[in-house]
Structure 1
Amino acid sequence: MSVRIDEIDRKILMALQEDAGQSLDEIARKAGSSKTPVWNRIQKMKKSGMIQGQTAVLDAEALGFESCFFVLIRTSQHAASWKEQFMNALNARPEVMEAHRLAGDIDYILKVRVTNARAYDKFYQALIDDVDIYNVTALLSMEEIINNRPLPLREG
């Protein structure tokens, strides 16, 4: 569902994506408005679900999570019970940064952050112990080129 936003909303959202911890004064300045209307707009966007929270972006490598794997999963099972078991297995593993169900030959892709290849193998072994998976392919990211890019909220 697409939500209509105006130019001030767009500027507020861009400022929040840039740094959600900046002051309301700074966000208002960037939006070309004053604090109270900007605060009201932010509250409205939170209530609508457009803004889902605020988080800090951590440097994974600086914290020892030097390996990023993209895990391609194929399954021969598509029953709701299997999907529930799979989702429970993923939710139990904090290494899973993202999970997407795909169209095409691959059913799911996971973004997994671990300290090293040995830690990935432990993750992999635990996952296949918990849920029946037809095929797993792991791709090691050699270099992160773009991360945390803001949504392109420009009109057009």
Structure 2
Amino acid sequence: MDKRDAQMLALLQADATIGLNDLAKAVNLSPTPCWRRLQKLRDEGVICRQVVLCDPTKLKLGLTAFVMVRSNQHGDAWTTRFIETVRAIPEILEIYRMSGEIDYLLKVVVPDIAGYDSVYKRLIKSVELLDVSSSFSMEVIKRTTALPLDYVVKE
């Protein structure tokens, strides 16, 4: 990946609706070579999908909770059941397996505390957990989906 690929990715991460001609112009390419580069980035899996990002508050999803989960079970059967459970709950947007004192970190987006309680009850009903602890976001300071590109550019 070179500097031009990184420029294209930066522009696309900011606005994936940019047209090919505008993208090509912004990185000083003609449309055909720009399109070829885009295809290569897709084929290599660098660009894995394009999505629409929605404002959660406009969708009445004003509460974000970060849920820390600890388990005393780590076998394949429990892990499979846990992963199936959390993937099936649409309010759980992100799931991370962690190192340290907690086993999993979940990002949950719901309308309110009652919505969170509903997610919590579905979670604990479906899989045995040692401890569940939650923190609620008071304010979003930074929210981005754009990944830093400085680490992949070859001169």
TM-score, with structure 1 as normaliser: 0.94
Q: Does 1:76 align with 2:72?
A: yes
Aligned residues: 152
Which secondary structure does the structure 1 equivalent of 2:58 belong to?
Answer: coil
Q: Which amino acid aligns with 1:89?
A: T
Q: Does residue 47 in structure 1 map to residue 43 in structure 2?
A: yes
Higher relative contact order (CA 8 A, sep 6+): 2
- Aligned pairs for 1:1-156 (under 5 A) are 5-154=1-150
Q: Secondary structure at the match of 2:67?
A: strand
Root mean square deviation, CA, Å: 1.2
> Runs in 1 of length 4+ with deviation above 6 angstroms?
none
- Higher deviation after alignment, 66-75 or 28-37: 28-37
Paired amino acid for 1:33: L
- Per the TM alignment, residue 149 of structure 1 is displaced from its structure 2 partner at its CA by 4.4
TM-score, normalised on structure 2? Answer: 0.94
Give the partner amino acid of 1:39. Answer: W
CA distance in 1, matches of 2:18, 2:99: 38
Amino acid across the alignment from 1:57: L
| Structure-1 separation of matches of 2:44 and 2:77 | 31
| Percent of residue pairs identical | 36
- Per the TM alignment, residue 39 of structure 1 is displaced from its structure 2 partner at its CA by 0.9
